[in-house]
């Protein structure tokens, strides 16, 4: 359709799961033909909306939506400075929507446009946590009953330790009380006190308990959230070797990735990185030098499907597997984009998944089916997911 043109670009904000989401809808001059893309940067949701509505939309209207690569390349440099999370998410929403349109035009799911299925189902890992080792164990057993074979295990507050003080904080936080643990300085500053030393000591204790109780037939993941010093991260990776983690996630911050060479030399614990990455210069040296085992970028924050498919291929050439970031602060459209990449990538490793509530599934018809720890996409053309704008409007950001 050589005369196909983009006629309108709009940003839909909605929060049916209690988290602010941004979805781009690109309409064309072909009646009923439109595409959806995820542009969710929930911490700066209105900045992303402004970037799309004020800058990307005028740039796009009148263009041929089938020229995905051309639009991505020109879009990424259209503001001169690039590779920031706001503009990358704006570009991602556009990019995913264009792939959605392309698939609908071809009458094919996006995974077929990317080369076709390499697997029938997508193995998932779920999140488990608890205030102490026993509570984490109990929650893992519940997930195992649901069929999950991969679980991320955290103890205490989000990414934190399971000391009595931190357990108290985790319990009381829901009651909106400001708790000062014994090891914190005297202060009235509100919020959570994170003790990296207590955390680093608690993690081996957690996995010692879990392996003793649950054995080695279940795969464990742990997320450091780059909240310790590089030396502490290296020591932690060494200590955790005996517990045979599936991988240790984000042991250092993006600003400290040079430390991964020392970590690699001293520990055989598999490493995943990428949640906070925004450009190729962050991940390329890690892949080139085989310093990581899994790349887990947030697809919308690196600019969408177009750069992610290239990253997947580049990783394949270097023996690195994919594990795209899949938290609760990603729209179901973004979840589907992840999974189309998962299905079509031979070097797929694992997919993070956060369960969707009924409101999310109602607003976004076409969400993946989850069964016994696997995800299954429908075979509809494009991304296979839609949005009910009237229902979305009932959940304002």
Burial class (CB in 10 A: 0-12, 13-18, 19+), 273: buried
Give every CB contact of residue 363 below 8 A, 6+ residues apart in sequence. Answer: 14, 16, 387, 388, 391, 392, 395
| Choice among 55, 158, 314, 376 that is catalytic | 158
The alpha carbon of 229 is separated from its chain's Cα centroid by a whole number of angstroms, namely 23
What string of DSSP letters covers 196-214?
A: HHHHHHHHHHHHHHHHHHH
Burial 28-41 (b: 16+ CB within 10 A, else e): bebeebbbbbbbbb
Active site residue 80: no
Burial class (CB in 10 A: 0-12, 13-18, 19+), 62: exposed
CATH topology of domain 113-381: TIM Barrel (3.20.20)
Contact assessment for residue 17 and residue 357, using Cβ atoms and an 8 Å cutoff: yes
Contact assessment for residue 299 and residue 305, using Cβ atoms and an 8 Å cutoff: yes
Dist. CA 59–CA 248, nearest whole Å: 41
Q: Greatest CA span in the chain, whole angstroms?
A: 68
Domain boundaries in the chain? 6-108, 113-381
Burial class (CB in 10 A: 0-12, 13-18, 19+), 239: middle
237 beta partners:
none
The pLDDT tens digits for 226-261 are 999 999 999 999 999 999 999 999 999 999 999 999
What string of DSSP letters covers 215-271?
A: TTSSEEEEE-TT-S-HHHHHHHHHHGGGG--SEEE--S-GGGGGGHHHHHHH--S-E
pLDDT of residue 77: 94
Task: Name which of 305, 381, 379, 373 is nearest 342 in CA terms.
Answer: 305
Place of tokens 């595409």: 35
For 142, which DSSP code? Answer: H
For 330, which DSSP code? Answer: S
Dist. CA 204–CA 51, nearest whole Å: 44
Give every CB contact of residue 85 below 8 A, 6+ residues apart in sequence. Answer: 41, 44, 278, 301
pLDDT tens-place values along the chain, 397 residues long: 569 999 999 999 999 999 999 999 999 999 999 999 999 999 999 999 999 999 999 999 999 999 999 999 999 999 899 999 999 999 999 999 999 999 999 999 999 999 999 999 999 999 999 989 999 999 999 999 999 999 999 997 554 444 444 444 444 444 434 445 566 666 656 666 678 888 999 999 999 999 999 999 999 999 999 999 999 999 999 999 999 999 999 999 999 999 999 999 999 999 999 999 999 999 999 999 999 999 999 999 999 999 999 999 999 999 999 999 998 889 999 999 999 999 999 999 999 999 999 999 999 999 999 999 999 999 999 999 999 999 999 999 9
Give every CB contact of residue 222 below 8 A, 6+ residues apart in sequence. Answer: 152, 153, 154, 203, 207, 240, 245, 248, 249
Task: Name which of 142, 134, 306, 98 is nearest 206 in CA terms.
Answer: 134
Contact assessment for residue 382 and residue 65, using Cβ atoms and an 8 Å cutoff: no
Host H or E run for residue 30: none
Give every CB contact of residue 230 below 8 A, 6+ residues apart in sequence. Answer: 252, 256, 259, 262, 263
The pLDDT tens digits for 26-36 are 999 999 999 99
Active site residue 158: yes
Domain 6-108: CATH superfamily, name plus number:
Enolase-like, N-terminal domain (3.30.390.10)
3-state secondary structure of 339: helix
| Choice among 127, 225, 298, 340 that is catalytic | 225
The pLDDT tens digits for 208-217 are 999 999 999 9
Contact assessment for residue 211 and residue 185, using Cβ atoms and an 8 Å cutoff: no
The pLDDT tens digits for 326-359 are 988 899 999 999 999 999 999 999 999 999 999 9
């Amino acid at each position: 359709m050589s005369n196909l043109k983009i006629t309108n670009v709009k940003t839909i904000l909605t929060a049916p799961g209690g988290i602010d989401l941004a979805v781009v809808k690109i309409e064309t001059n072909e009646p009923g033909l439109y595409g959806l893309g995820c542009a969710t940067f929930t911490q700066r949701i209105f900045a992303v909306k402004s970037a799309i509505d004020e800058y990307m939309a005028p740039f796009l209207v009148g263009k041929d939506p089938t020229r995905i690569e051309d639009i991505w390349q020109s879009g990424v440099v259209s503001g001169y400075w690039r590779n920031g999370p706001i503009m990358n998410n704006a570009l991602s929403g556009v990019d995913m929507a264009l792939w959605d349109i392309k698939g609908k035009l071809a009458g094919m799911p996006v995974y077929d446009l990317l080369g076709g299925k390499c697997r029938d189902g997508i193995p998932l890992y779920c999140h488990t946590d608890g205030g102490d080792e026993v509570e984490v164990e109990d929650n893992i057993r519940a997930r195992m009953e649901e069929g999950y074979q991969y679980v991320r295990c955290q103890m205490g507050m989000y990414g934190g330790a399971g000391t009595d003080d931190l357990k108290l904080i985790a319990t009381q936080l829901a009651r909106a009380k400001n708790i000062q643990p014994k090891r914190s300085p005297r202060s009235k500053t509100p919020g959570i006190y994170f003790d990296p030393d207590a955390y680093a000591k608690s993690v081996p204790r957690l996995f010692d308990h879990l392996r003793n109780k649950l054995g080695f037939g279940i795969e464990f993941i742990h997320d450091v959230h780059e909240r310790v010093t590089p030396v502490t991260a290296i020591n932690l990776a060494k200590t955790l070797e005996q517990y045979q983690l599936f991988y240790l996630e984000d042991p250092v911050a993006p600003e400290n990735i040079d430390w991964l060479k020392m970590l690699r030399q001293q520990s055989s614990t598999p490493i995943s990185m990428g949640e906070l990455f925004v450009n190729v210069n962050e991940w390329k040296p890690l892949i080139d030098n085989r310093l990581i085992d899994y790349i887990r970028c947030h697809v919308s924050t690196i600019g969408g499907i177009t750069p992610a498919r290239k990253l997947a291929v580049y990783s394949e050439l270097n023996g690195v597997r994919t594990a795209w970031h899949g938290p609760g602060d990603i729209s179901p459209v973004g979840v589907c984009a992840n999974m189309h990449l998962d299905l079509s990538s031979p070097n797929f490793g694992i997919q993070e998944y956060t369960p969707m509530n009924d409101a999310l599934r109602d607003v976004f018809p076409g969400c993946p089916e989850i069964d016994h720890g696997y995800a299954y996409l429908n075979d509809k053309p494009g991304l296979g997911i839609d949005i009910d704008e009237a229902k979305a409007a009932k959940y304002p950001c």
